[in-house]
Amino acid sequence: MSNIGLLGLGVMGRNLARNIHSRGFKVSVYNRTVQRTTDFVEEFGDETLVGFADLKEFVQSIERPRKIIIMVPSDAVDAVLDEELNGLLEEGDMIMDGGNSYYKETVAREVRLNAKGIGFLGCGISGGEEGALKGPSLMPGGSKMAYDAFAPILEKIAAKDFNGEACVAYMGKGGAGHYVKMVHNGIEYGDMQLLAEAYTLLRFVGGLDMADLAATFASYNQGRLASFLVEILVTIFNQKDEKTAGYLLDKILDSAGQKGTGRWTAMEALELGIPLGTVMEAVNARNLSAFKDLRSRLGKANLAKVSLPLAEVDQFKVGVEAALFGAKISAYAQGFMLLQAAEKEYGFGLNLAEISRIWQGGCIIRAELLQLFTILWQKDQTKHLFEFAEIQADLLPTLDLWQEALALGGKDRLPLAAMASSLNYVYGIFKETSSANLIQAMRDFFGAHTYKRTDLEGTFHTEWGA
């Protein structure tokens, strides 16, 4: 009998199955398209990695209580649970959805399955196809009983944090796992856009060529910006085009795709009233990039251009590094603020220190900075990240250089919305007074929405101009 079953042999599913198998577990696999199962088993199978063409035989091959991981697109999960597996599972069996499902759908699925005595986990998995094979970051939530059953396997296949511990932890009840993964992906959207804007500044204001860009980001990755995303930029900038002369990046169409998790994060922030400008601007930038034909027509306009003197380029690189570091802290702060709000609203049982810890390895947003966040959240996870003296010591010295880099980009008419929004978030949080009193006065003027005063208790309305 197999220790675990895996249903769905797409890129992530097949690599996860190989990962589990490599850790000494016997694995049964199944895919709706039989040929995919056959091909997979022919390439990787043995007596402890077995494929099945029949779903019933697949289920019956797994030791009880059964543990099954489903790795299918989010819009196919309900069909698998309610149609294909319906009637094949028994009370006490457990299922883990390892896809990018929307957390509210995960909550509904857990309720349905629990009514049948079946445990259910919604598990965010980050790290892409390489992470799935070599060690991802795992964010499971839902049935604690199901988590305890899956944990010995998940702990073996997960990446390791900076202290060598497995990058997996129980996120909390209900849709907690997929919620945390959603926020992870939102931060990922923001981080990628910030890096793209830093590239834009260095390329078009600093005048750096691809070799210079690779060397600059390699230098950045040796310091406080050390992270997976900065690391891979070095390879991207160095990649030559096999089809033509020059660098591959220059041949890639500047129209970015998206699967929707960044949009989910932005919508959730709006729902809970949390400022999440960096992620929202990252989504907006991808949306804007899709209008390539329109941009090509309007891009012929004669806009101003800035070219730095060569003697100033090295200092500009320092400024961009500071801007990128400050913006990265800001993006994380916004993401954690959303997680704090979700905890108050939904009572998941989130542990920000554990979330920071399991993001240290395997996942796309893994970064050295997460070590500090883990330590700080262990002290107090009710604070805003900016309230910690250690964060202020890192963040506040970046502001002048950050602002100067944006100003130079503005002179060159460069779109830098995510980096600017990240800075505005910092300015807004650290400013005791704001212009919202005028907003509220206007609301009261035309809609009698009332207002509160700074000097008196209660709610007030004014007949303006009377």
Chain position carrying tokens 């992270």: 227
Catalytic residue status for 345: no
C-alpha dihedral over 328, 329, 334, 339, to 10 degrees?
110
Distance CA 394, CA 340 (A): 22
Distance of CA 215 to the CA centre of its chain: 26
Structural contact between residues 269 and 275, judged by C-beta atoms closer than 8 angstroms:
yes
Active-site residue, selected from the candidate residues 26, 67, 181, 317: 181
Distance CA 239, CA 211 (A): 10
Catalytic residue status for 42: no
Distance CA 100, CA 122 (A): 9
Q: How many other CB atoms sit within 10 Å of the CB of residue 201?
A: 24
Buried-state track 296-334, b at ≥16 Cβ within 10 A, e below 16? eeeeeeeeeebeeeeeebeebbebbbbbbbbbbbbbbbb
Kindly state the tokens that stand for 312: 């100033």
- Sign for the CA dihedral angle at 144, 150, 152, 154 comes to negative
Q: Which of 343, 338, 402, 335 is nearest to 369 (CA)?
A: 335
Kindly state the tokens that stand for 190: 């923001």
How does DSSP classify residue 381? S
Distance CA 466, CA 389 (A): 49
Helix boundaries (H) for 273-309: 277-289, 292-298
Distance CA 326, CA 422 (A): 8
Structural contact between residues 36 and 13, judged by C-beta atoms closer than 8 angstroms:
no
Question: Burial of 84 by CB count in 10 Å (0-12 exposed, 13-18 middle, 19+ buried)?
Answer: middle
Phi–psi pair at 234, nearest 5 degrees: -60, -45
Distance CA 319, CA 308 (A): 13
Kindly state the tokens that stand for 351: 């542990």
Kindly state the tokens that stand for 193: 């856009």
For the chain, the first-to-last Cα distance in angstroms comes to 83
Cα 249–196–352 angle (5° rounding)?
Answer: 130
Active-site residue, selected from the candidate residues 67, 110, 188, 354: 188
Q: Which residues are catalytic?
A: 181, 188
